Amino acid sequence: MTITPPALSVFETLESEVRSYCRGWPAVFDRAQGSHLHDEDGHTYLDFFAGAGSLNYGHNNPVLKRALIDYIERDGITHGLDMATTAKRAFLESFQNVILRPRDLPYKVMFPGPTGTNAVEAALKLARKVKGRESVVSFTNAFHGMSLGSLAVTGNAFKRAGAGIPLVHGTPMPFDNYFDGQVPDFLWFERLLEDQGSGLNKPAAVIVETVQGEGGINVARAEWLRALQDLCHRQDMLLIVDDIQMGCGRTGGFFSFEEAGIVPDIVTVSKSISGYGLPLALTLFKPELDIWEPGEHNGTFRGNNPAFVTAAAALNTYWADGQMEKQTIARGEQVERALLAIVDELGGEGVSFRGRGLVWGMEFEDKPRASAVCARAFELGLLLETSGPESEVVKLLPPLTISTDELDEGLRILARSVRETA
Amino acid sequence: MTITPPALSVFETLESEVRSYCRGWPAVFDRAQGSHLHDEDGHTYLDFFAGAGSLNYGHNNPVLKRALIDYIERDGITHGLDMATTAKRAFLESFQNVILRPRDLPYKVMFPGPTGTNAVEAALKLARKVKGRESVVSFTNAFHGMSLGSLAVTGNAFKRAGAGIPLVHGTPMPFDNYFDGQVPDFLWFERLLEDQGSGLNKPAAVIVETVQGEGGINVARAEWLRALQDLCHRQDMLLIVDDIQMGCGRTGGFFSFEEAGIVPDIVTVSKSISGYGLPLALTLFKPELDIWEPGEHNGTFRGNNPAFVTAAAALNTYWADGQMEKQTIARGEQVERALLAIVDELGGEGVSFRGRGLVWGMEFEDKPRASAVCARAFELGLLLETSGPESEVVKLLPPLTISTDELDEGLRILARSVRETA
Amino acid sequence: MTITPPALSVFETLESEVRSYCRGWPAVFDRAQGSHLHDEDGHTYLDFFAGAGSLNYGHNNPVLKRALIDYIERDGITHGLDMATTAKRAFLESFQNVILRPRDLPYKVMFPGPTGTNAVEAALKLARKVKGRESVVSFTNAFHGMSLGSLAVTGNAFKRAGAGIPLVHGTPMPFDNYFDGQVPDFLWFERLLEDQGSGLNKPAAVIVETVQGEGGINVARAEWLRALQDLCHRQDMLLIVDDIQMGCGRTGGFFSFEEAGIVPDIVTVSKSISGYGLPLALTLFKPELDIWEPGEHNGTFRGNNPAFVTAAAALNTYWADGQMEKQTIARGEQVERALLAIVDELGGEGVSFRGRGLVWGMEFEDKPRASAVCARAFELGLLLETSGPESEVVKLLPPLTISTDELDEGLRILARSVRETA
Amino acid sequence: MTITPPALSVFETLESEVRSYCRGWPAVFDRAQGSHLHDEDGHTYLDFFAGAGSLNYGHNNPVLKRALIDYIERDGITHGLDMATTAKRAFLESFQNVILRPRDLPYKVMFPGPTGTNAVEAALKLARKVKGRESVVSFTNAFHGMSLGSLAVTGNAFKRAGAGIPLVHGTPMPFDNYFDGQVPDFLWFERLLEDQGSGLNKPAAVIVETVQGEGGINVARAEWLRALQDLCHRQDMLLIVDDIQMGCGRTGGFFSFEEAGIVPDIVTVSKSISGYGLPLALTLFKPELDIWEPGEHNGTFRGNNPAFVTAAAALNTYWADGQMEKQTIARGEQVERALLAIVDELGGEGVSFRGRGLVWGMEFEDKPRASAVCARAFELGLLLETSGPESEVVKLLPPLTISTDELDEGLRILARSVRETA
């Protein structure tokens, strides 16, 4: 495929320098369907990024599209603040019947504003309000968002530097396997909590991702998550799982923490919850934590009703039975085999991989190579992004609805890109 | 009209206690068109709230609806992170040609995430980064959002208390007319800035609304805004106008600050920018401030492409000429006459009003009466909300596209509601 | 008098650049007695600075000197942490009998460490602990000390910049007469407190000096102080009077707030409390505020027993009757007449003065002239310092024990210095 | 010895509940000489606490006493702000000739106010100013003082809680041997620094005690200190050694860090620097860090001239040769043998000890026993204090000038106290 340099002029002249993905993928995209995007020059790209996890059901999924167009056609409420609407009720009922009840999860649902960072901000506020303490523990290489509350518990130094004020009230602790098994889990964290002279401000809560997506596809073991939950209980801290990127089926089950058998006190959900790439976010919490006063946290777009419509359709279509989870795990095994083959081809030198469900990362010791692989993949028609603190990990995040053939095709392009960047 | 108590059960049992509007308007809304909403029991409501300013072109505006459905039908990109897309280009070009160029505004455009608070967080970060100072001055009764950065410059004590941490790095100054003309403008602020012993941390920026919507429809005079701009220039502070609620034509001109003839350094835009109630936000700033590194601020939903489509359609439809501005001012005069009549009827006792364009507030000395008026209006089929620190102001925020008849009808209901709560 | 440039070498080579007074007074001082210092070259200086208010009873006051030497000779406890000692008991009894009881002041006494900033830190901690709120209001041009807690409520921008972190949790309010009577007292402060939308974090306490020494000899009127006390009571804030420089008789009465008839909740005392220039500080508070746990605030030198000895001697010698107060007021009137004469001589142009008791300030519109006056006075054998945010005020702070002749001499030198810097 | 309950009335009725040592040692002390204190009832106490390390040369050391009385007799300057005085010059010259030059230490000397916490506040300010970063790393169980800047880098949860505001800008790291050798030194700290995604705000400086006195007599190994210095150099952080309690010969050499062969960037000195228990403190730093503006940090009592006099006498008397260091090490060995014997007597069960020079700690697994031992020792005429986060360590801190007989006597009382609390 030959790529003609696209006419990016208005992006370059009018849009801020802060723009980012458009630099790595220099195309002007026009349409998309399922696992593919099409640019205005007629090129087609296979999508192994899925809107950073926002398109678990693919682009413009036809079932959701039908529901969405019908809703718009019939003049359903579009913007509803936090008014009661029929669309919101349908979503809440689906979420209760399809997701919460079968999993025996007791959560109350809050609509904190339609983006992930809104959900995290609401979670942190609530935890602090409930416990009357201001400190929150996060983990190395965590990513929770760009507004000041979320940024304070985010690890990335480059993002943090953007704050323009000292980010405080958060303390980082080592994520699972941070020292390659050299140090017992929670040795440092627990000791600080127990030592009255440690200098750690007693935390209101711990916020954790089960798999760190932006941080480099770092996968927490189930036993580590259970031990973390135990530690939180023993030390009177709330456990917040940020399931914004890893929830909605990305790791197999609807929530990524199901496999570990834990029940976090607070859960944040966004990205793929609308199913269609429309902005929507939820903050879930145990009923006894629901001490909010009416309107104490609000937001103009927290009732994005078209997103409720596609969200309900997605839940009813994909989560009424266990097929989606099984398929994701099968697709994940397909990825795993392919990555193993790539590593074998390299003789296991300078590369490693890890993942769960349909999120995988391939880390290069020669860190810039990860970006080179993504650049070559783009030329070959595959959208791939890096992650990790130094962009040293190639991140695989295909739609969950991807076919085995499409997955194979993408994995072949990946293998070729690795080969050609040797 | 008789209202049957609606079946709110799932809202009451599953949704968090934080829900708010659904308490004052106990109906389950289903459809909406133009200036009206319809609940599932067949009742119709005239909308004087317009999604808190997000529906300046009315509900499900047919021109935008057509563009939106066409876009979805043809599988246009829905979720685009900050990739270049044809929809984004069309929006940027329209924004440049219809809005920026004719007003000779030099702004770069940033998509900071699709909600107002994202736009404010980005504005504050950038101001701090540019000036290398952390402090920001806001005004009494300001409202800028619920995430920690925005909340720190928001006045409302109840909202602030939700933070769970001390909100610092912001200092409030008196908004225009805070002392009823008793004190010269900026006397306190300027003196603090000039006095090397004042104890005020030198601010990076000042953030202001031209009309404080949540704060009680407090209208800044054009000369006050000009003097504020002068003060910012003299004291090396950036001027941020938060035009989230008052922009997009609410006060007449597209930007609410046009009338004053000022050019803020940074402007935040959201709510009605998509035109259809879809989440979208912009942070605009002078080119010389565009010192962002690529990706230094990001967000999953900052490229909400369906919103670009409706936004471009709204700009091209309503702002290519000066009709919208003229009409808004005319409608505003209609409101003003009606409010004057209401006040006259009360003998001018215990009530006052103020406003600009199509945003008006009616303040009651007997503060609870404002809520009573809104409650009665709801029974009579009119959606009205209060604002102000003690909810003492009835806020009129009809769609800009409302007809004179609809406006008359709503104003008659308002007058009746005032009368019946005496 | 001719001043030979002294050999400052070790000060210049070994001592940090932070040194300050030695620059304005380039002499190496050796001995001192009463109102005079002597340098090693045999020059004598009349002292109108009195150790920044630490030497109210003059240098090496013979009564205190005798008590001090006796105590050292007999091997009295020198360093006593916060152990009970006979010297501490004697001080406490004198303080109770001579100071607290006659004034009907109910205070508990805390020894927070022997410097003013220790006393302020303890006061702020206690106020926050009692009220459970973190914010404290201070006043424009306040000075409370250099450690981080005290610095956050200090106004001077130059001193604040030394912190290296953003100083938060404090908000400045206008000191008495900040707007030359143009604005009603507490208009801004009270409005912020009453307005639920003001954005002011509810303060735990207000900290105030009755006369701002470092800030430029700004004298609060008695009625302003009473109104401030009323405001604190109405708004549930503690009133802290920082009497470090103005207490111990500087303004006439032992406490500077006595004249206003107020009873602050917390009072800080230091500087002249030991009477001999030895480090000592007290934090006084109403008994119901004494919620400290044993050892919750501590410090190595809080029991400086030689200072207890001179402090007790000073109280018993000077405060057992009302003579000291009367004399201070008389001496103050002598200063006032002299300053009036100086101003008259200048035709009242470009200069003004104010003061209370034996603290007076002479402000020059031509700001650098204040420093020139002090420099010339030094050449003429008088120690005088400037104060105010731009060092525009010549500050008169002679020992309270100064004779009328000495005072006259100093005032003549001052007049001459003013004349010679025209 | 029989102790009659002393008449503590004025302490109980007038002094704040914050008083502490007087509770554990219920006597009213009157005189002291060398290693002994005498109460007003005629009881004598052997001092194994030495003013928390402020009386390294014993109480009322006769050499220093003579110099002090002579100085007072001849009306030497008592209070000198930061004016040049002959007493200050003599001190600076002695400090340079006796301490700095022989050790080839290049430090500039700052007088930051006469208490330890003043010295720490100045050190932290300077480090932040130099590096332009606000964060500082401290260690578990560190103690640096009670003012807000120092308290933020202090570990003790009880002391921290007294702040009344969230203490931020500091992050604790594990002190040497925190995990009993289980974890490589600096594994966590270094990894956080190197990982761009760790979430650690880049520190301006690290502040450390070579032996943590208040923290439980935790002794850092020389190699750990050297590795810490290396880490600071590699990572562009300043190394601050807080030598307030361990300096002035407590561990053998004048500075406690000499043994490790490191040269910290900044050193804080206080407690025994005056030699006589008079308040005095120094902040030392490398010349290239001396970027203070004149007067940027100040304080009323930073020129405590009587303390300069005794300090110079102490330096000249005890540090002109290496005798003091040798004697301290010999006395330390005497202590070590005695502690070993005590442990042996207990069969090594439930007790351990550690120390360096003349600072030793004996830790009891049965934590309350440490307090019981001190209480029994007091009854037997020995002053002993606990330390550690749960007061589980008996702390031995005798004067360095103690005789072998006195030391033996105290160690016998200690042994008996341990025996009698079994």
Among chain D residues, the shortest Cα distance to A152 is held by D199
> Which range is least confidently modeled, B135-149, B322-336, C7-21, D397-411?
C7-21
Contact (CB<8Å) C165/A165: no
Of the candidates D160, D197, D215, which has its C-beta nearest A155's C-beta? D197
Contact between residue D188 and residue D220 where contact means Cβ atoms under 8 Å apart: no
Q: What is the average per-residue pLDDT within A390-397?
A: 97
Contact (CB<8Å) D165/B166: yes
Neighbours of chain D (3+ CB pairs under 8 A): A, B, C
Residues 6+ apart with CB under 8 A from C93: C312, D10
Residue A247 token pair: 């929830």
Contact (CB<8Å) D153/A199: yes
Of the candidates A28, A125, A290, which has its C-beta nearest B89's C-beta? A28
Express each pLDDT in C278-324 by its tens digit. Answer: 999 999 999 999 999 999 999 999 999 999 999 999 999 999 999 99
Strand-by-strand arrangement of the B238-242 sheet = B108-110, B282-285, B266-269, B238-242, B203-208, B135-139, B170-173
Nearest CA to A338 out of A267, A262, A418, A282 is that of A418
- Quick one: pLDDT band at residue C7, thresholds 50, 70, 90? low
Contact between residue C110 and residue C292 where contact means Cβ atoms under 8 Å apart: yes
Q: What is the average per-residue pLDDT within D38-49?
A: 97
Which value, to the nearest 10 degrees, does the dihedral of the CA atoms of residues B117, B122, B125, B126 take? Answer: -150
Interface check for D166 against chain B (CB to CB < 8 A): the answer is: yes
The amino acid that residue B296 corresponds to is E
Q: What is the average per-residue pLDDT within C129-136?
A: 96
Preferred mutation among A140, A186, A206, A208 to probe D, highest tally of D CBs within 10 A: A140
Express each pLDDT in B113-166 by its tens digit. Answer: 999 999 999 999 999 999 999 999 999 999 999 999 999 999 999 999 999 999
Residue B334 token pair: 């209609």
A3 has pLDDT over 80:
no
Q: Which residue has the higher pLDDT, B2 or A254?
A: A254
pLDDT value for A1: 47
Contact (CB<8Å) A157/D192: no
Which residues of chain D make contact with A183, given a CB cutoff of 8 A? 182-183, 187
Of the candidates D16, D147, D306, which has its C-beta nearest C108's C-beta? D16
Contact (CB<8Å) A128/B89: no
- Quick one: pLDDT band at residue A183, thresholds 50, 70, 90? confident
Express each pLDDT in C94-112 by its tens digit. Answer: 999 999 999 999 999 999 9
What value of ipTM does the predicted structure carry?
Answer: 0.97
D343 has pLDDT over 90:
yes
The amino acid that residue A268 corresponds to is T
Per-residue burial over A133-162, b if 16 or more Cβ lie within 10 Å, else e, is bbbbbbbbbbbbbbbbbbbbbbbbbebbeb
Which residues of chain B make contact with D166, given a CB cutoff of 8 A? 165-166
Among chain D residues, the shortest Cα distance to C56 is held by D79
Compute the distance between CA of residue A166 and CA of residue C16 in angstroms, rounded to an integer.
Answer: 29
Residues 6+ apart with CB under 8 A from C387: C213, C214, C215, C216, C217, C361, C393, C395
Q: What is the average per-residue pLDDT within D200-215?
A: 97
Interface check for C18 against chain A (CB to CB < 8 A): the answer is: no
Could you tell me which residues are beta bridge partners of residue B360?
A: B355, B396
Contact (CB<8Å) A92/B15: yes
C1 has pLDDT over 50:
no
Q: What is the average per-residue pLDDT within A113-135?
A: 97
Q: What is the number of other CB atoms lying within 10 angstroms of the CB of residue A321?
A: 10
Per-residue burial over A232-244, b if 16 or more Cβ lie within 10 Å, else e, is beeeebbbbbbbb
D1 has pLDDT over 80:
no
Compute the distance between CA of residue D109 and CA of residue D91 in angstroms, rounded to an integer.
Answer: 11
CA distance D143 to chain A (A): 9
Of the candidates C166, C196, C389, which has its C-beta nearest B169's C-beta? C166
Interface check for D43 against chain C (CB to CB < 8 A): the answer is: no
Residues 6+ apart with CB under 8 A from C97: none
pLDDT value for A4: 53
pTM: 0.96
Contact (CB<8Å) B304/A279: yes
Interface check for D157 against chain A (CB to CB < 8 A): the answer is: yes
Strands (E), B91-231: 108-110, 135-139, 170-173, 203-208, 211-212, 218-219
Interface check for A165 against chain C (CB to CB < 8 A): the answer is: yes
Neighbours of chain B (3+ CB pairs under 8 A): A, C, D
Query: What number of C-beta contacts closer than 8 Å exist between A and B?
Result: 365
pLDDT value for D306: 98
Task: Tell the burial category of C405 from Cβ atoms under 10 Å away from its Cβ (0-12, 13-18, 19+).
Answer: exposed
Contact (CB<8Å) A10/B40: no
Among chain D residues, the shortest Cα distance to A158 is held by D196
Which residues of chain A make contact with B76, given a CB cutoff of 8 A? 30-32
Among chain A residues, the shortest Cα distance to D158 is held by A196
Q: What is the average per-residue pLDDT within A328-346?
A: 97
Using CB atoms and an 8 Å cut-off, which of residues 346-405 of chain C contact chain D?
none
Q: What are phi and psi of B166, to 5 degrees?
A: -60, 130
pLDDT value for B306: 98
Per residue, what are the HEC states of chain A?
Answer: CCCCCCCCHHHHHHECCCCCHHHHCCCCEEEEEECEEEECCCCEEEECCHHHHCCCCCECCHHHHHHHHHHHHCCECCECCCCCEHHHHHHHHHHHHHHHHHHCCCCEEECCCCCHHHHHHHHHHHHHHHHCCCEEEEECCCCCCCCHHHHCCCCCHHHHHCCCCCCCCEEEECCCCCCCCCCCCCHHHHHHHHCCCCCCCCEEEEEECCEECCCCCEECCHHHHHHHHHHHHHCCCEEEEECCCCCCCCCCCCCCCHHHCCCCCEEEECHHHCCCCCCCCEEEECHHHCCCCCCCCCCCCCCEHHHHHHHHHHHHHHCCCCHHHHHHHHHHHHHHHHHHHHHHHCCCCCEEEEEECCEEEEEECCCHHHHHHHHHHHHCCEECEEECCCCCEEEECCCCCCCHHHHHHHHHHHHHHHHHCC
Q: What is the average per-residue pLDDT within A376-391?
A: 97
Q: What is the number of other CB atoms lying within 10 angstroms of the CB of residue B182?
A: 11
CA distance B250 to chain A (A): 16
Residue D228 token pair: 């810490």
Express each pLDDT in C68-84 by its tens digit. Answer: 999 999 999 999 999 99
Which residues of chain A make contact with D138, given a CB cutoff of 8 A? 199
Which residues of chain C make contact with A166, given a CB cutoff of 8 A? 165-166
Domains along the sequence of chain D with CATH: 8-61+323-421 (3.90.1150.10), 76-319 (3.40.640.10)
Of the candidates D20, D95, D148, which has its C-beta nearest C147's C-beta? D148
pLDDT lower than 70: segments of chain B = 1-8
Of the candidates C51, C204, C295, which has its C-beta nearest D18's C-beta? C295
Contact (CB<8Å) B160/C388: no
Using CB atoms and an 8 Å cut-off, which of residues 313-342 of chain B contact chain A?
none
Express each pLDDT in B182-206 by its tens digit. Answer: 889 999 999 999 999 999 999 999 9
- Quick one: pLDDT band at residue A7, thresholds 50, 70, 90? low
D6 has pLDDT over 80:
no
Instruction: Say if strands C135-139 and C170-173 run parallel, antiparallel, or are unpaired.
Output: parallel
The amino acid that residue D148 corresponds to is L
Interface check for B197 against chain D (CB to CB < 8 A): the answer is: no
Neighbours of chain A (3+ CB pairs under 8 A): B, C, D
pLDDT value for B422: 87
pLDDT value for C4: 53
Per residue, what are the HEC states of chain C?
Answer: CCCCCCCCHHHHHHECCCCCHHHHCCCCEEEEEECEEEECCCCEEEECCHHHHCCCCCECCHHHHHHHHHHHHCCECCECCCCCEHHHHHHHHHHHHHHHHHHCCCCEEECCCCCHHHHHHHHHHHHHHHHCCCEEEEECCCCCCCCHHHHCCCCCHHHHHCCCCCCCCEEEECCCCCCCCCCCCCHHHHHHHHCCCCCCCCEEEEEECCEECCCCCEECCHHHHHHHHHHHHHCCCEEEEECCCCCCCCCCCCCCCHHHCCCCCEEEECHHHCCCCCCCCEEEECHHHCCCCCCCCCCCCCCEHHHHHHHHHHHHHHCCCCHHHHHHHHHHHHHHHHHHHHHHHCCCCCEEEEEECCEEEEEECCCHHHHHHHHHHHHCCEECEEECCCCCEEEECCCCCCCHHHHHHHHHHHHHHHHHCC
Using CB atoms and an 8 Å cut-off, which of residues 125-154 of chain D contact chain C?
125-129, 134, 145-150, 152
Interface check for D171 against chain A (CB to CB < 8 A): the answer is: yes
Among chain A residues, the shortest Cα distance to D216 is held by A197
The amino acid that residue C407 corresponds to is L
Which residues of chain A make contact with B271, given a CB cutoff of 8 A? 300
What percentage of chain D has pLDDT greater than the value 90? 95
- Quick one: pLDDT band at residue C9, thresholds 50, 70, 90? confident
- Quick one: pLDDT band at residue C182, thresholds 50, 70, 90? confident
